[in-house]
């Protein structure tokens, strides 16, 4: 009876030891696995305009500069908000800051400041006409992009392209290496938007909006953007 108990205990010990060894044993390296990626690209007309206006002021003291900037910004905001419409013309303030001005001896001899206002939306005519009516700030920069609606509309198409290319490439590689099929191991999907290039500034930030520019729409022309979806991962050839 004691002999049987010892044999059972020994068997249990060996089983536990075998299980522990199996757990600690290094996993076999995957074989016949290939890494690949594919890209889907859809070109679409940019439908979002971001127009920045700015003004700079300087004076002997900071309080005067701040007051001048505030007055210019308040006037511009009032004009912009009269024409605001969600999604078509959204209005927001940009950076607002004051900075000391130094003389050659390193002492403060004055202050300067800058304020910005941003008009953004899909109604180009509304935005540019509003910008033309603002007299207290000048156009600083014009940029174009894609609205969320436009991006979402073509992102699925680009993703489908990328997935189909990934599958075709995987099948081609499997066949090329002498395998009849493959299975997906892991995959990552990433998307981004690519513009043709930066747009130059329409006019310097310190330029005045008088004369021919007053109460008139600023001429702008959007280009095209590319919505790019990349699918990358690995497949097991079999």
- Tens-digit pLDDT profile for residues 183-196: 999 999 998 877 65
Specify the higher pLDDT residue, 199 or 70: 70
Distances from the Cα of 110 to the Cαs of 54, 64, 95, 156, 159, in angstroms? 20, 10, 20, 55, 56
pTM score over 0.75: no
Tokens of 51: 């127009």
Q: Where are the alpha helices (DSSP H) in 142-189?
A: 148-176
Asked if residue 33 has pLDDT above 50, the reply is yes
Beta-carbon contacts of residue 54 (< 8 Å; ≥ 6 apart) = 94, 114, 115, 116, 117, 137, 138, 140, 205
User: b/e map of 89-116 (b: 16 or more CB within 10 Å)?
Assistant: bbbeeeeeebeeeeeeeeeeeebbbbbb
Q: What is the pLDDT of residue 14?
A: 46
* pLDDT at residue number 126: 95
Q: Give, as one character, the DSSP assignment of residue 149.
A: H
Question: Given a cut of 60, is residue 203 above it in pLDDT?
Answer: no
| Cα gap 199→159, rounded to integer Å | 28
In tens, the pLDDT along 153-174 reads: 899 999 999 999 999 999 999 9
For the chain, list the domains and their CATH numbers. 31-47+146-209+222-238 (3.30.110.170), 49-145 (3.30.70.2970)
State the pLDDT confidence band at 19, using cuts at 50, 70 and 90. Answer: low
Nearest Cα residue to 64 out of 76, 75, 72, 54? 72
Q: What are residue 88's phi and psi, to 5 degrees?
A: -95, -45
Name the pLDDT band for 30 (thresholds 50, 70, 90): confident
Span 9-15, average pLDDT: 49
Task: Let me know how many helices (H) and strands (E) the chain has, helices first.
Answer: 4, 7
Region 174-189: mean pLDDT is 92
Q: How confident is the model at residue 205 (pLDDT cuts 50, 70, 90)?
A: very low
């Amino acid at each position: 009876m004691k002999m049987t108990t010892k044999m059972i205990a020994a068997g249990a010990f060996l089983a536990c030891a075998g299980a522990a060894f199996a757990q600690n044993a290094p996993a076999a390296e995957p074989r016949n696995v290939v890494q690949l990626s594919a890209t889907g690209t859809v070109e679409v007309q940019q439908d979002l305009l971001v127009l920045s206006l700015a003004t700079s002021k300087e004076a002997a003291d900071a309080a005067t500069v701040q007051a001048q900037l505030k007055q210019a910004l308040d006037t511009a905001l009032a004009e912009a908000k009269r024409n605001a419409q969600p999604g078509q013309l959204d209005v927001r303030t940009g950076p607002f800051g004051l900075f000391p001005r130094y003389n050659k001896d390193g002492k403060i001899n004055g202050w300067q400041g800058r304020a910005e206002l941003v008009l953004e939306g899909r109604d180009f005519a509304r935005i540019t006409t509003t910008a033309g009516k603002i007299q207290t700030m000048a156009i600083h920069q014009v940029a174009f992009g894609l609205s969320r609606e436009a991006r979402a509309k073509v992102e699925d198409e680009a993703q489908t392209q990328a997935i189909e290319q990934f599958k075709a490439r995987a099948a081609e590689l499997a066949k090329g290496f002498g395998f009849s099929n493959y299975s997906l191991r892991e995959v990552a999907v990433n998307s981004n938007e690519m513009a043709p290039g930066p747009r130059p500034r329409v006019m310097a930030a310190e330029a005045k909006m008088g004369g021919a520019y007053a109460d008139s729409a600023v001429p702008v022309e959007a280009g095209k953007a590319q919505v790019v979806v990349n699918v990358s991962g690995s497949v097991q050839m079999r």
